Each structure stands twice: as structure tokens, then as C-alpha cells.
Amino acid sequence: MTCLYGDVLSLKQLLRVDNIVNAVIFQTNNSNIFALVLSSNDLILYCDHIPPSLKWLPWPKDDGKKIVSLAFKSTSEKLLVCGFDCTLYLVFVREIFEPKDGDRRNKVKIIRPAPGEPTSSLNPTAITWWTPIVPTYSSDIGIIGGNIGEIVFVNLRTGACLGSTCVKCSIKTLEILNESCSNTVWLIIICSNGDRWKLLLESLDVGYCWLNPKPHSVHDKTTKPTNALNIDTIVPVISNFPSTRARLLGLRQLFIEKLSAPKKQKCVINCVQSVPNEVKHPKRSFSSDTITSGCSCPSTGPSPEPITSVVDMKSNVQSHCGKQTIVSLCSNHILVHASGFNSNQPLVYKLFKGGDIEKFLYTDQFIFTSENGGTKLSVFSSNLCQLKSDMEDDKEKSQLGTFNFNNGEIILDMFRVSGRKTKESLDVSQSISPKNKNRSITNKKKRCDRQHTRKDNTVSELCAIVTNFTLYILNLSIKPEEIIFKNIMAGALDHANNLSEAFDVDIRPILERAADQQLSARKFEEATLLYRLSKTNPLKRVLRLASSGNTDKVVLFVSTLLEQAHPRDLTALERLHISNLAVMSYTEQLLRATSREKTRLEAKFLRLLSENNHYDEVLCVNIVGQSRLCNVLRFLAVERGLHNEVITVLVSLMSQQSTDSQYLHLTEGFWDLVSESIFTEVLVACNKFTTLHSKFVQANLHNVSQDVLLKLKILYDPTNPALRPILRKVFQIKNETEFISEQDNNVSKFY
């Protein structure tokens, strides 16, 4: 396997058996059932539930009993098998896998063509199962296609032939298209020459059914489908067959079933092998005239009409957004129609140019293609290869992987399966050979093994591949989140983004997780980039950076964030918290900085305090004051006008009696703060501060420089009329206190 993103996908072998020639699938809520036809004409039933189980049904080896086509019922585990002699077999798959005690009914019901019916001379090439849902007809119908274009409708309950029509070429496949938007059901006919035809089977809006059309009033004509056929020209299909004969055929079939019910039931193998090869095909002419003019059987209803919208394209019925539609392939482009035959503005997907595409499977998440004669499997992302006006034409990035098959192994078919149904830890690889014909092989696992089974609920659509040798399941190597995470850690952000889009995974939590890991590894630049790309809550990003202890990165990140963030990106509360964290980070850096770094950091801090209006000023003054960053305190008092807050901090510092307070006068910038002239008004208004301030200044005058003395002279200017009474009062009290103290000393000396 080669892939631009590494080993994202892996092929897991579920079953190996030689010479597979055909396969169909039925999906339930918790399992997938595969029906495989071998070249030996044996039928293999495989169910991938837990534990997986397998059933081998030997089939008669007569030429007339050779299986040419098979189809599941869309709503239950019933398999319709068509033999070469046009004998139909109803295989009750659920009863085979889950037999009930005492149930002796046959697990295979046989519907043989009656002589003279169109099916008695039909060489079948395709079959499908149709269950009408209109009230006028409620029986299961088998639709058989022939090698010269015949299409015959058979009642699967009575075996009666209900009608027929034809196209102009050998039929390759028949498919049922249920258009939910228009409440119509169509038969899609794909011929061997590539032509596509459509036939309206039923319309719920008008109560129409191809098998039993009813007349409509003139008022109802406006509601009839206009792109299909004229319902007024339809006649009841039973009128073309003798009514008495049709009733007798039905009674005959019911009589046979009643007689066989009380008899001793036989096993599935004997039931199938006991069918005699009674119906012999007449020699039929395949001249060009016969093929050109269509089949010889009568057309009992409206004829199919060609699908012009998908001419010269490979197309079939597939699913888009949970609804059936027609998906077409032209060159290396996939066209997904909005609904059925509506070809207006289809979704277009461009695949990376590879080999010639033989088969393709579209899902909402992936596109699977079989190339080079079925020897190569390519997997593309639907999201990445969808054509958009703003995307480049290079679609190489949309290819998630390729697988090559060797030794004559080729892809027969591909089926959509649900990813959550695939259990990674369960080994269900089986090997079957004709020599080992065990009828039932069950892989039994212990309960403890099941408990450790990992369920992958992220990817909802994967693929089952059937080759001529093996049944595979295409699974993820690891969880998509882990693949994306590995690419992010490796620096391949483009690949990670492509993978997140391919797997419909939100990349933001993965980016945040990668950022946390980079942060733990002390890779701050990478972590900051990933946090920004993840669009994580800014406050959470800052807190995680702060918790790492690298405050310089916090400061850088916060500064960039506050400068570049749009007002709508951050709430007022988030800006407050982030700004407060920036204040604390700068404070912590200044306390640890050397004298050379301190000047630079202090300038940045003052710039932040000057330009930022979101931090808590009271908190900032307290933090800076406790850290004794006097230059910053002076800036807050002078430039930010926080006089009262700074005075409160100064009073607290100068009144402390701790050991650290003895060295307060040695703190850088302290005397510039204390002698600041803006405190003149505070000296006038606050007697407590004036007393404390004057005492502190007088006690430390011997440590004051000449410049500070000049500033103190301006601060304590006695010519200031507002300050003079305060100074007189303070120094008078001081003189009286000193006089009393001196008298006390003299008295004590006298005694």
C-alpha cells in the first residue's frame, strides 16, 4: 500500500475460499451477511456478527441448476437465487444461522417455472427483489432479466408470472431505485452494452403500480410523473394472461406446498439437490434481428425508456446522505445526482488520475475504485476530491491509499459497510476448500476477548471487497484522531488538516492536545502556534502557559493576543483575567531579572500598564507593592493617577516592623517614590500618612542623596499655604514629644 499520509487504511481478510464468482450483501443493525457463489456452484453464507459464523450450502451441479444471479430482500434476511433453468430458490438466511428448536420447515423454498410461462424459455442473466408498497399490491416480486432483453415479473408466493416487458439488449444487472423525494420506485436496467433503462414500478402519490394500474380521473393527471410514462395508456397486466389459468397455477402451487408440509423435512443440502432438472431450454436463436427487435415474450405493460442523462457513463444505484440516487462515472469524475434522474447541478468529484476504472463505490465519506482489470484498489476522500470553486484541480491529496492484488486475484465487487460493525481485535479469517466441506464453521471467542474489542464509532462508512479468492474488510489502521495527532506532532499540519476533513473529525481538540504535549516538552513556540490554531479559549491557553512556569512566553503570548485579538474574540472578563496574568508574569520576571535585563523588562511592563486598560488596577498596585517594584509604583501613581492606592501600599510598607523593612530605604526607586511631589495633596489630606512619612524621612536622612533632598524640599515647602498648618502641627507635636521625653530623662537622672 502506498499513501501520502502513511498507512491509514488496512485490508483485513475475513474469509478465504477459492473461485468466487458472485457475491451480494445484506446489512442489519449490528452485522453484515454475505452470500458468495463459488465456481463449483456452491453457496457460502457468512455473517460477521460476534462471534462470526459461516454456512456452506452445496448446490446441485447440473447445468440447469447453475446459479446465474442472486439478490437479498431489502428488508429481511431472505435470499433469492436464480438458476440457469429459471428456477427460483428462496433461502431463509436467518433460519439457517439461528435455527429454532422444533422448527422442521425447509430453509429453502423452490419456485419452478410452469410450462408455457415466459420464464420457462428464459435464459436468465440478472435478478432483483421488489416488494411493492402501494396498497393495491403487497406481495414479494422477483424480477428476472434475460439474455436478449426480457424482463419477467414473478410472484414469489405463488410462482405465477405476473407480467413481462423487454429492452433491446442483453441485461447485465437489475436494480431497484426508491426515490423518496418523489415517492416513486423505479427499475434500473443496465445492459451488457452499457445502455441504461428505467421503468416506473410504482408511485405512491397516485397509487400506481406497474402490476396493477388503476384508472385515474382527469383531476389526478396533474400529479402523475411526467418523465416516466403515460399512465392513461396502461392496461391491467393480468388481462394478457388467461385468468382461469393464472388462478389454477396459483392453486396448484398452494396445493403442492400444503401436501409437502406434513412430510418429514430434509436438510438444506438434500432439499436443493432433490430438485429434478425437468425444465429444458429450447434452442434459441440469437440472431441480430432478434436482439435488435427485442425479446419475443409479450409486453404486458409500459416499456422501459432509456436514461439519457447517463449515456456513455458507468452508473448504478447507490446511496447519498441516506437516500438512494444514481451515481455516475465519466473518465475520472464521479457525478452524484441530487435525486434519481435529476441531472441538474450534480455533485462532482474529481479523482486523482490513475488506471482505467472498472468498478466504483461511492459513500458520503469515501470513494472506492477498482482499476487495472480489478488488480488495484484505490481509496479517495469524498470531501477532499469534491470540486469546488475555491479549490485547486490537483486532487492527489484526496487519495488515502492504494492496494495491489497479485497472483491472479482480482476484485469482483465492493460493498458499503458500517465501520462501527467492524471489530479490530477479532480474527475472523477462515479458510475453506472443497476437501473440507464443513457445513457450519463458527469462530468461538471467550467473553473476555469480546470485552477488549475496540469499537470504532468515528468512521461510519467503510468497504467490503470481494475478490475471486478472498472476502476483505477495509478498515482503519488506527483511530483517525491518532493518525491526525501523529501528523501534527511530525509537523505535517497540511496532512493533518486534510485527514480531519477526510474523516469528518474536528481537528481543534487534537491540536489542543498536541499543544499540551509540546508545552510539556518545553517547546513553547510550537505549543503557542498549536494553541492559536486550535482556537482554544484564550484564557485557557494563557493559564496553561503560566502553569508551565515560563513567564516570558506567557508575556509574549499575552501581548500578541491582546494586540491582535478582535474585540469580538475576547469578552471583557477574559481580557481582565488575561491582563492580570500579564501583570503577574511581568512582576515575576522583574524579580528574577538581572540588572541588565531589568531595564528592558521594566520598559515593556510600563508600556503594558500605559496602553492596557483592562487589568485590575488595585490588584496591580498590591502585587507591585508587595514585590517592592518602586519604579512601577511611582509610574502607577504619577501616570495612572492611583494616588490613594499607592499611598495605602506605602503606609503598609513603612509601618512594617519586619527585618525586610529595615532595608526598605535601600530599595531601588524607593526615595524617588517617597519624594514625589504629587504626594503634597496627600500630606494635606491625610494626617496619618504625613506623620508616618515625616518620621520615616527624618530617620533616614543620612541615607538620602542630594537629588532626593531637593525633591523633599519641594515636597515639604513651608511656603505652601495649604501645607504650612499641617507641617506646624506635625512638628509642634514632635517638639512637644521630644521636650517631654527630655524632661523625663532629666528627672530619671536626678533620682
Closest CA to 211 of 189, 183, 239: 239
Per-residue model confidence (pLDDT) at position 158: 84
Per-residue model confidence (pLDDT) at position 43: 92
- Sequence-ordered strand ranges (E) for 225-310: 305-306
Check: CB of residue 447 under 8 Å from CB of residue 349. no
For residue 593, the SS3 value is: coil
Q: How far, in Å, CA of 529 to CA of 551, rounded?
A: 17
Cell representation of residue 336:
452524484
Per-residue model confidence (pLDDT) at position 105: 67
Per-residue model confidence (pLDDT) at position 261: 42
Check: CB of residue 403 under 8 Å from CB of residue 13. no
Check: CB of residue 46 under 8 Å from CB of residue 428. no
pTM across the whole model: 0.68
Give residue 560's Cα distance to chain centre: 34
Per-residue model confidence (pLDDT) at position 522: 78
Per-residue model confidence (pLDDT) at position 460: 58
Closest CA to 527 of 208, 598, 542: 542
Per-residue model confidence (pLDDT) at position 235: 30
What domains lie within the chain, and their CATH numbers?
Answer: 9-275+300-438+456-476 (2.130.10.10), 482-676 (no CATH)
Tell me the average confidence (pLDDT) per consecutive run of 10 residues in the chain, 751 residues long. 71 89 89 91 88 88 87 90 90 86 74 72 90 77 91 88 88 89 87 87 84 48 38 33 45 47 42 43 37 57 77 77 83 77 75 80 89 89 78 70 89 82 39 44 39 42 89 86 89 87 88 86 81 78 72 72 68 84 86 84 88 89 89 88 85 70 72 78 72 76 78 75 70 52 47 42
Check: CB of residue 497 under 8 Å from CB of residue 455. no
Closest CA to 453 of 495, 484, 494, 422: 422
Q: How far, in Å, CA of 154 to CA of 147, rounded?
A: 17
Per-residue model confidence (pLDDT) at position 661: 58
Under DSSP, the state recorded for 615 is S
